[in-house]
Amino acid sequence: MIVHDRLYIGGELVAPAGTGTIDVINPFTEEVAGTVPDATNADVDRAVAAARHTFDTTDWSTRPASERAEILTKASALISGRMDELADLIATEMGSPKGWGIFGQVLAPTMILDYYAGLGQEYEFEKTRAGLFGPVVVRREPIGVAAAIVPWNVPMFENVIKIAPAIIAGCTVVLKTAPETPLDAYVLHEILTEAGLPPGVLNIIPGGREVGAYLVTHPDVDKVTFTGSSAAGMKIAAAAGGLLRPVTLELGGKSAAIILEGSDLDAIIPQIVDAGVMNNGQACVAQTRILAPQGMYDQVLEAVTEKVAALVVGDPLDPTTQIGPLVAARQRERVLGLIDQGKNEGARITTGGGRPEQEKGWFVDPTVFGDVENSMTIAQEEIFGPVLSVLPYSDEANAIKQANDSLYGLCGTVWGTDAAHATDVARQIKTGTIGVNHFAMAFSAPFGGYKQSGLGRELGPEGMEAYLETKSISLDPAAG
């Protein structure tokens, strides 16, 4: 069992202010895999003070971005050298299958670090424009102390997606981890320290909602970035709005995968299913609504059902496992409740719908629903489990209408033999990210959502610019 009895604050492991602890439960064995301190408001005060001190009194924010970029490059290499260890750790924390986790949980964070390291070497923090009376320097400066609150589903990915651009921008960070998955953050801090990150740039606070709420409204925080549920994001937006505090919110999703007439199902169905149930379905970008032409509906439903029924369920540390347990008992009960609701509203289960035969673990059978209408709860609410819905559409206009008939607008895909036409369809979907004939996130491009999927963007230069203030300096007209 992994035991941490201290907190990373100001570059040191310090004793927490309180005596509470958080048990990290392995969702496969249902046994305690580790413990960490349960941070208090007093710990938040110390962490924010450390971040504030480093930002205000050291050269961190004024160093050349290229120097900060070198830290990310070294950290990426160090993570790569511990890839198996980290994939195992995250699988133990939250049940992510190692076969997927090697890429999604560990390799992807190194790719984000590498991208921002490259951006730090080339980004222009000052540009000169022509002004009314003479040249104007448009300058980008670090915003200050960032409060970062991350979820449990892809913890290291989410840690890095917030920390890396903040580092390049020259900010300092107080990271509040999810109580389910704090262990990998300790390793990440060790790695960043070894890579040369100065004391106080990153401070880590494991804790629950109360600590997160206190951090969001702390008077010495300059910027808030949050990933999680839309309901929680609305509360954070309201709190930040009352303080006129900049906030980035990456929230829920209910993404549609649109299959166009004439698509090669043998080629695309395996990709769509993988994009729907990745990470045990615990992904905000999961393609969980599959829209099929009426004339191909039965064929699509049969192909999706066959693929999902064949998924291997089991120990997340077994590299052959495709579906592991959900993160917690409460999550399993929530997913099973939504499956029951789907049946009660008239949808038809074609595979799954219950619990697999496992001695222990918070498992749900990979499940497919047919005869789904877009107004049903299972087509509108983010389930966050291995549950897919297949919906028919009458024509492309109807497919676009159904895809857009959602409170969310985070992600999506369009699949067709004519890539140019599929791209035209993609342009009409109200979503922040959409792929044509593949599912992927481009780390050089902005990521975020429309509607209740959030505010602002992460990744790309836009993700780093969210940690910058903009200043215009009108130069002396007489200076020539």
Q: Which of 72, 54, 73 is nearest to 62 (CA)?
A: 54
The yes-or-no verdict on residue 272 having pLDDT over 80 is: yes
Which class is domain 2-251+453-472?
alpha beta
| CATH superfamily to which 256-443 belongs | Aldehyde Dehydrogenase; Chain A, domain 2 (3.40.309.10)
List pLDDT tens digits, range 35-86: 999 999 999 999 999 999 999 999 999 999 999 999 999 999 999 999 999 9
List pLDDT tens digits, range 109-150: 999 999 999 999 999 999 999 999 999 999 999 999 999 999
List pLDDT tens digits, range 179-202: 999 999 999 999 999 999 999 999
pTM: 0.97
Query: For residue 56, what are the contacts with CB-CB under 8 A and spacing of at least 6?
Result: none
CA angle (85 as vertex; 276, 202 as ends), nearest 5 = 90
- pLDDT at position 334 is 98
Residues serving a catalytic function are 250, 284
Please name the helix (run of DSSP H) or strand (run of DSSP E) that holds residue 291, with its range, or none.
strand 289-293
Q: Which two tokens stand for residue 60?
A: 């961190």
Q: Residue 125's Cα: distance from chain center in Å?
A: 27
- Alpha-carbon span 256 to 54, nearest angstrom: 44
The yes-or-no verdict on residue 358 having pLDDT over 90 is: no
Q: Give the domain ranges of the chain.
A: 2-251+453-472, 256-443
Mean confidence (pLDDT) of the chain: 97
- pLDDT at position 479 is 79
- pLDDT at position 480 is 64
